[in-house]
Amino acid sequence: MLTIQALAKLSGVSTRTLRYYDEIGLLTPSAYSEAGYRLYTQREIDILQHILFYRALDVRLEEIKQIIYNDKFNVQQALQSHRTQLMHKQQQIQKLIKTLDTMLGGVNMSNTDKFEAFKSKKIKENEAQYGQEIRAKYGEKAVAEANQNFMGLSEEAYHKAQEIEQRLFLLLQQRGDQRSIANLHKEWLCYFMPQYSEDLHKGIVTGYLADDRFIKYYDTKAGEGATQYLVEAVCQ
């Protein structure tokens, strides 16, 4: 067993942070010494490694807790997912560095090239926030195709998708015509999903209600109850 000081030295995580992880139930020691000191086994060391992987991907602590203590949590799948997402992050950082180097070198860039790095950044953010769930629901191939489709968007298409989403928010805020809302959401979704189907569309929006992050996103943009109204519009 390791003391909290030994685990801090091994992992590079401060003892203060380890105590906080214990307080919130994210990383609880297996035992305590007679003097009341926290003691950690190999199990806690392995859990801490996963926590650090998810933190490197900017996943919130509460979400990490839900993931790693889920009965369906699979270590091998998690490790593969960590690797895939970190590779995406590495590629995104490399593209941003390349963009900056090009600009610092005084080379004129096309508008398409200017936006490529930032589209990569958007994919990275989505991976960090939703990657685990969407892979579980739709599979690695579907996610890869969606990312590829998004990266292939022209600057014009990228801005068009943003414009459609803003129109969607406005219509949701007004609790407007549900058919129009459903069509707008479909139009927006088709920019990112290469293979559209009505069943897939309904499945995606229904999933919004099971995830507080989506509810917060739409309700913040278009008012409380907007997510529910969107789901009703698509599934009517």
Its domain, for residue 132, covers 74-152
Token look-up 């407007």 returns 176
Task: State the Cα–Cα distance between residues 122 and 119, nearest whole angstrom.
Answer: 5
Answer whether 112's CB lies under 8 Å from 155's CB: yes
How confident is the model over 187-219, as pLDDT tens digits? 988 887 767 888 888 888 888 887 787 888 899
Residue 194 DSSP label: S
Answer whether 187's CB lies under 8 Å from 166's CB: no
Residue 194 shares a structural domain with residue 220: yes
How confident is the model over 155-186, as pLDDT tens digits? 777 788 889 999 999 999 999 999 999 999 99
Residue 144 shares a structural domain with residue 185: no
Task: Report how far apart, in Å, the C-alpha atoms of 73 and of each of 68, 128, 134, 141 are.
Answer: 6, 17, 15, 20
How confident is the model over 101-114, as pLDDT tens digits? 665 655 455 555 55
End position of a domain, from candidates 152, 169, 198: 152
Percent of the chain with pLDDT strictly greater than 70 = 73
Concatenated DSSP letters of 21-82: HHHTTSS--SEE-TT--EEE-HHHHHHHHHHHHHHHTT--HHHHHHHHTSTT--HHHHHHHH
Instruction: Please report the pLDDT score of residue 91 as a whole number.
Output: 74
pTM of the model: 0.45
Between 63 and 226, residue with greater pLDDT: 226
Ramachandran class of 193: left when φ > 0, alpha when ψ lies in -120 to 50, beta otherwise:
beta
Instruction: Please report the pLDDT score of residue 149 as a whole number.
Output: 63
Residue 164 shares a structural domain with residue 144: no
Answer whether 188's CB lies under 8 Å from 143's CB: no
The mean per-residue pLDDT over the stretch 14-21 comes to: 91
Task: Give the CATH number of the domain where residue 216 resides.
Answer: 1.10.490
How confident is the model over 27-43, as pLDDT tens digits? 999 999 888 899 999 99
